[in-house]
Chains A and B, each alone.
Chain A
């Protein structure tokens, strides 16, 4: 019999199926059809994605233009990290009061600055694949 203490290796990856809820579903369906919506309440202003406060609210159109607040590159990429050619960023959509964390397509991240203008690019209308738009740099006129 081994004189080492018994050890038990355990790891578990439970699976989940999450419902986006009434507000989230409306937002996601709009994204799939190429529109960005914000949920406007008195307390929080226009939130994207929608934040339920329990008060009455209304949907308003936001974007498709946005302003870059900042982006990030990790020192080491986490497993399954960001797609090459894209960076993780915080953006402020035109008309929104809250920030959105989003992917920005950019071959040269060094060219990004706070204040860079962006525009939303939606995935094709499909149940598979991402529904959130990624953002690309607005061409300078």
Chain B
């Protein structure tokens, strides 16, 4: 019993003037409306949000996300992990409908970026490790090995920034794409959803932020994740498809796109990938990928390819990968 995307909503701004809570409630309502469901129809809620950014434990105020009285999960490690958990619950028959809600006020990081806390206190913090530094190291590895140039990155970044600005009602977002954001997706059993996009398959791959095999290229990790799909890779790419990669940096996204193309599930040029703007240009924490998926779903029309890949890359290197194969209903 597969899961299908029934609806979604999102909002990003450089900074939410009235704080996070009213936006969370608004986006939950909006996502339910686009799904033509009420909160009472929802059997399970999954949240993705960081205690640190919130300044409060997320699970103790899950009522904000509509969780009261329901099955509840908080999977703060990434949008992909949360979406995968929701899909698994439907596939397992645990729930007929799941609301996935994520949020984050990454605008706070522009004032004080405490993310060095993500690194172990013995070996990495003492050498000054920050997410930005290890990501910069990754960029150099990719450039040195010839798979990316500065020009590739610059032109991609410009394209993504334009799309992100469009989503932020024309506002430029903060440095590193830091912004405030809320995004929600509703999943239902595919059998119950008449006009949706089915999550035909999903799988993960991961590395430590000091990858033990010395690999720094997300293309390899994405290919590895997609080998975990239950459905076999087609002998040749089945059709023109979409590829959407949400990641922490533009180079991680570019390499994620390359890996998704190389995996051979859909045919898609790098230039037409990431119509949603990805995640690096509008980053609000681990939930960032939900916005890309919500935007993708919200804009699906007759011209959207029947099949595509959504990939979430989480962590400073994009080292936690979730890949989803999405097929349009009736495809």
Contacts and interface: CB of A to CB of B under 8 A. Distances in A.
Interface string A124-141: 000000101000000000
Contacts of A18: 121-122
Interface string A72-83: 111110101111
Contacts of B140: 70-72
A101 interface: yes
Q: Decide if the interface of chain B is mainly helix, strand, loop or mixed.
A: loop
Contact of A101 (B55, B112, B113, B210): B210
B146 to A, nearest CB: 12
Nearest to B136: A72
B214 A78 contact: no
Nearest to B55: A10
5 contacts: A16-B121, A18-B122, A69-B141, A78-B128, A98-B210
A-B CB proximity, top 3 nearest:
A72-B137, A72-B136, A82-B128
Nearest to A89: B137
A101 B129 contact: yes
B128 A81 contact: yes
Contacts of B136: 72-75
B40 interface: no
Contact of A72 (B121, B126, B134, B211): B134
B124 interface: yes
B127 to A, nearest CB: 5
Interface residues of B, number: 27
B60 interface: no
Interface string B95-133: 000000000000000001100100001111011111011
Range, interface on chain A: 35 or more
A76 to B, nearest CB: 8
A42 B133 CA distance: 31
Q: Decide if the interface of chain A is mainly helix, strand, loop or mixed.
A: loop
B304 to A, nearest CB: 36
B194 interface: no
A120 interface: no
A134 B133 CA distance: 17
B150 to A, nearest CB: 13
A90 B132 CA distance: 14
B116 A78 contact: yes
B132 A132 contact: no
A117 B132 CA distance: 25
A102 interface: yes
A51 B212 contact: yes
A71 B137 contact: yes
Contact of A49 (B112, B122, B141): B122
Contacts of A71: 137, 140
Contacts of B132: 74-76, 78
A5 to B, nearest CB: 8
Nearest to B127: A103
B128 A103 contact: yes
A44 B210 CA distance: 13
B137 A90 contact: yes
B77 to A, nearest CB: 20
Contacts of B121: 16, 18
A18 B113 CA distance: 22
A66 B141 CA distance: 17
A141 B129 CA distance: 32
Contacts of A70: 137, 140-141, 144, 216
A88 interface: yes
A83 B211 CA distance: 25
B315 to A, nearest CB: 15
B214 A69 contact: yes
Contacts of B126: 130, 132
B174 to A, nearest CB: 13
Contacts of B55: 10
A101 B134 contact: yes
A44 B207 CA distance: 13
Contacts of B212: 44, 47, 51, 97-98
Nearest to A11: B112
Contact of B123 (A82, A83, A88, A132): A132
